[in-house]
Amino acid sequence: MSTSSHDRDPYALRDRILALDPVENAREIAHLFHRDFQRALLPQIATGFFATISPPRMTRILIRTGELEFRNRKRLVDQMLIHHEMLTHGFVPGRGRDALRRMNEMHRKYAITAEDFTAVSVETTLGQLTAAREYGWRELTEHEVRGVVEFERVQALHMNIRDVPATVAEMVAFRDDYFDRQVRFAPANRRLAESALRLLATVVPAHIAPRVEKVLMSLTDPRIVAALGYDYPDAAYRERVHRATREHAAQDATDKRAPKVVLDLIASVYPDGYEIDRLGTHLRAEEASGPRDRNAPTPMCPV
């Protein structure tokens, strides 16, 4: 939402962040961070998804559900909305806790390992911070880094994910080790990536659609690109894509409204609005994806 004070002073949200405590006010800091870097964070929607489908043991689960192959538009929008509700309202009774409960109900049905839960949390945090640094219109402050890390850590705890690293350096080390052991090519990875790219080609501006694969692979970690079975674009092409992404994200300096591409995507699924309890998957017991790993956390929602 745009306000006149923010229009006059592009640094108003940053200054508000600096006045908050990064632990006590982590949710508000993360929310303001997202508002100040909305367009800069757009690539993370795709790259975060690509990271999720780069370990074969994850794609084996996701292929069986059919959600990311045949209902991927709704799945993407629902994920965005659930995160938006928690980011906006936190985890106290109300819309934020309702969204948390809906997410945990979904995760409870899948045989996801504890390590994979942690990996998704880590990649979400690092992906946001990296995108803001790479494409953002202003410098990222250490104060908001601490707030974002704390918010994502607390969110993970509400999902009963207990082993999320506490610092950015520890997250990077965890991610690199996880990538070395778990991220590798499998045909199912490519199958889900192709489905995602078909969807994203309908979302991006028309002039990008024919090149959506090459553009998005330019923004993605090369280890993930290889695991999906694609070619990593050359350095000159990647630099052009990164420059164009930074130019687009420069609008964040003065326009604090949600990007039109996001609003249009949500409206394509929920033209008349949405109810939190209808977001996400609602699988029957027989559709669950096999026995759970004994070490996997049982998702919870505090009362």
Average pLDDT by consecutive 10-residue portion of the chain (303 residues)? 59 97 98 98 95 94 79 91 96 95 85 91 97 98 97 94 94 97 97 95 94 98 98 98 98 95 94 92 48 40 29
Q: Which domain holds residue 95?
A: 19-269
So what's the pLDDT on residue 111? Answer: 78
* Per-residue CA distances from 243 to 51, 124, 136, 210 (Å): 23, 23, 11, 19
Residues 74/89/252/222 CA torsion (nearest 10 deg): -50
In angstroms and rounded to an integer, the radius of gyration of the C-alpha atoms of the chain is 19
CB contact at 8 A, 59 and 51: no
Q: The tokens 């002039």 sit on which residue?
A: 207
So what's the pLDDT on residue 71? Answer: 85
Tell me how far the alpha carbon of residue 57 is from its chain's centroid: 20
So what's the pLDDT on residue 250? Answer: 98
Residue by residue, DSSP assigns 11-47 as THHHHHHHTS-TTTTHHHHHHHHHHHTTTTTHHHHHH
The pTM is what?
A: 0.88
Any domain includes 138: yes
* Separation between Cα atoms, residue 225 and residue 115, nearest integer Å: 21
Sequence-ordered list of residues with C-beta below 8 angstroms from that of 36, at least 6 positions apart, any chain:
13, 14, 17, 136, 138, 252, 256
Any domain includes 278: no
Closest listed residue to residue 131, CA positions, set 217, 45, 54: 45
Any domain includes 293: no
Q: The tokens 């707030």 sit on which residue?
A: 147
**Into how many domains does the chain fold?**
1
Q: The tokens 């009362």 sit on which residue?
A: 303
| Structural tokens at position 271 | 């033209």
CB contact at 8 A, 243 and 73: no
Any domain includes 131: yes
So what's the pLDDT on residue 7? Answer: 57
CB contact at 8 A, 37 and 132: yes
Any domain includes 164: yes
Any domain includes 51: yes
